[in-house]
């Protein structure tokens, strides 16, 4: 749906199927040799080729009945008032996002009033099927794309068990953090790794999540892995590697739960470091450095250029000036079942009446909660970088503001194509 040129066949028909649907008890019959077959290539492309449905030029909805069938397949039954209310909530969120986040600096664009004011989503679907280039079609597609994105802007587990998730993930790290301020370190003295800071990345807002999803080809919250995250900022670049090793060696993170393809190292050239450490271990001198003590290795890594990020899998909106070690891991979240209030009151009364029953009451409560506990894996992101690299991210090309500006511009280009300038406007300071 959008400003893209239409595909070569806007309709998909298999005449023999429609003609035969009234025969044989409504069962379709195979086409015979004289049947004309046409294929709606644009209809099957997302299914067969894996392209994003958001990039389809238009929908193929030709009646209110087919619009209702489309919504039912999506998961909304139009005849149900609760489902219509949910659609209206998504519609309002989408309009607020388009106008508040995307159009405020595009004075030449505004949502077509007929589309903006239409509360019947079936009619918006019908408008999206108009010829490409029609203003109503463009804005109907825009609205539906953003509504679709907000429909994916949630995680059932995050919404339902947010406190359990945050607490259990942070409990993995907190016992290993010692001291505070300038004395903060990972691990215990004398082998603790000095840290400049330990940060917890808070939950993303729905607006932030929508912006993130709109630039992703898959456009689904199932592929969002940084609902929650932690960041280690070390004083030395070499120490970032020590942090990664510490997390693995002390089972702070489970290596088997690290998601393949989500690890990224743009901080330290590991192959060069392994080679140099092997030479130092043999007693050789490198750039006037000898030995394998930590100060020597820190000085060695300081002289390294940053490795180039791999092209494959790189977030195109992350500046090449952003250097870190980062990976995505999953935590087994355990949510104990709650003992029904009536049973809890009776068990507490039994405990008070006969203290000798306390062990049996505790065992009974434990058995009830263990039997019904919920378990699920939830992803979180770990970032490790040194102080100098972190300071670079706070200004210039790697700043968060620039990152967001590039992301936002890409979303606008995806929605409106050549109606948006090829490059984003410079940020005003």
Q: Report pLDDT digits (tens) over 295-339.
A: 999 999 999 999 987 765 555 555 556 899 999 999 999 887 765
Residue 339 pLDDT: 59
CB count, 10 Å around CB of 108? Answer: 7
Per-residue DSSP letters for 336-376? PPPPPHHHHHHHHHHHHH-GGGHHHHHHHHHHHHHHH-EEE
Is residue 220 classed exposed, middle or buried when 0-12, 13-18 and 19+ CB atoms within 10 A define those classes? middle
State the DSSP code for 224.
-
What residue ranges do the domains of the chain occupy? Answer: 15-151, 156-268+316-331+377-419, 270-304, 337-372
pLDDT band, very low/low/confident/very high, at 393 (cuts 50, 70, 90): confident
What is the three-class DSSP state of 177?
strand
| 91 contacts 119 by C-beta, under 8 angstroms | yes
| Gap between the Cα atoms of 404 and 409, Å rounded | 8
**CA proximity to 96, closest of 143, 56, 57:** 143
The edge-to-edge listing of strands for the beta sheet with 177-178 is 177-178, 185-186, 193-201, 229-234, 374-386, 325-335, 264-265
Asked if the 156-268+316-331+377-419 domain carries CATH number 1.10.3470, the reply is no
If one compares 402 and 299, the residue with the highest pLDDT of the two is 299
CB count, 10 Å around CB of 254? Answer: 14
What is the three-class DSSP state of 227?
coil
| Gap between the Cα atoms of 402 and 394, Å rounded | 10
Pairing of β 185-186 and β 374-386: unpaired
State the DSSP code for 221.
G
Which positions ≥6 away from 353 have C-beta within 8 Å?
A: none
Residue 350 pLDDT: 66
**CA proximity to 279, closest of 268, 267, 291:** 291
| Gap between the Cα atoms of 307 and 305, Å rounded | 6
| Gap between the Cα atoms of 405 and 54, Å rounded | 21
The reply to whether the predicted model has a pTM over 0.75 is: no
Which positions ≥6 away from 151 have C-beta within 8 Å?
A: 90
Q: Which range has the top average pLDDT, 161-165, 268-272, 403-407?
A: 268-272
**CA proximity to 414, closest of 7, 32, 55:** 55
Q: Report pLDDT digits (tens) over 341-387.
A: 666 666 677 667 767 777 766 776 666 555 567 888 889 999 999 99
List phi, psi (to 5°) of 420.
-110, 140
List phi, psi (to 5°) of 184.
-65, 135
Which positions ≥6 away from 417 have C-beta within 8 Å?
A: 2, 3, 4
């Amino acid at each position: 749906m959008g400003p893209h040129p239409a595909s070569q066949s806007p309709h998909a028909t298999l005449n023999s199927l429609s003609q035969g649907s009234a025969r044989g008890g409504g069962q379709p019959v195979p086409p015979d040799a004289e049947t004309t077959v046409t294929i709606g290539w644009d209809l099957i492309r997302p299914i067969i080729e894996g392209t994003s449905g958001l990039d389809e030029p238009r929908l193929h909805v030709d009646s209110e009945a087919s619009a209702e069938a489309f919504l039912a397949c999506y998961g909304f039954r139009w005849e149900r008032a609760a489902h219509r209310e949910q659609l209206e909530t998504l519609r309002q969120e989408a309009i607020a996002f388009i106008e508040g986040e995307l159009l405020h600096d595009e004075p030449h664009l505004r949502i077509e009033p007929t589309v903006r004011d239409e509360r019947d989503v079936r009619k918006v679907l019908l408008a999206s099927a108009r010829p490409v280039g029609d203003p109503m079609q463009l804005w109907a597609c825009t609205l539906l794309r953003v509504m679709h994105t907000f429909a994916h802007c949630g995680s059932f587990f995050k919404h339902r068990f947010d406190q359990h998730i945050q607490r259990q993930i942070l409990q993995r790290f907190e016992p290993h953090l010692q001291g505070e301020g300038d004395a903060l370190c990972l691990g215990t003295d004398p082998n603790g790794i000095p840290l400049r800071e330990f940060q917890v990345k808070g939950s993303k807002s729905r607006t932030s999540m929508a912006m993130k999803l709109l630039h992703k080809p898959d456009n689904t919250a199932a592929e969002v892995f940084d609902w929650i995250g932690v960041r280690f900022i070390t004083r030395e670049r070499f120490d970032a590697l020590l942090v990664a090793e510490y997390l693995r060696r002390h089972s702070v993170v489970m290596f088997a739960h690290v998601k393949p393809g989500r690890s990224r190292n743009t901080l330290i050239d590991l192959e060069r470091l392994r080679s140099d450490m092997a030479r130092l271990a043999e007693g050789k001198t490198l750039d006037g450095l000898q030995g394998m003590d930590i100060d020597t290795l820190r000085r060695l890594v300081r002289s390294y250029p940053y490795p180039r990020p791999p092209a494959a899998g790189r977030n195109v909106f992350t500046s090449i000036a952003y250097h870190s070690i980062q990976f995505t891991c999953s935590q087994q979240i355990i949510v104990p079942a709650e003992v029904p209030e009536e049973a809890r009151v009776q068990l507490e009364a039994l405990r008070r009446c006969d203290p000798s029953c306390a062990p049996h009451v505790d065992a009974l409560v434990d058995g009830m909660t263990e039997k019904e506990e919920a378990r699920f894996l939830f992803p979180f992101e770990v970032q490790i970088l040194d102080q100098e690299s972190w300071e670079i991210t706070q200004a210039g090309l790697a700043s968060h503001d620039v990152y967001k500006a590039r992301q936002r511009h890409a979303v606008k280009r995806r929605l409106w194509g050549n109606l948006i300038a090829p490059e984003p406007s410079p940020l005003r300071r």
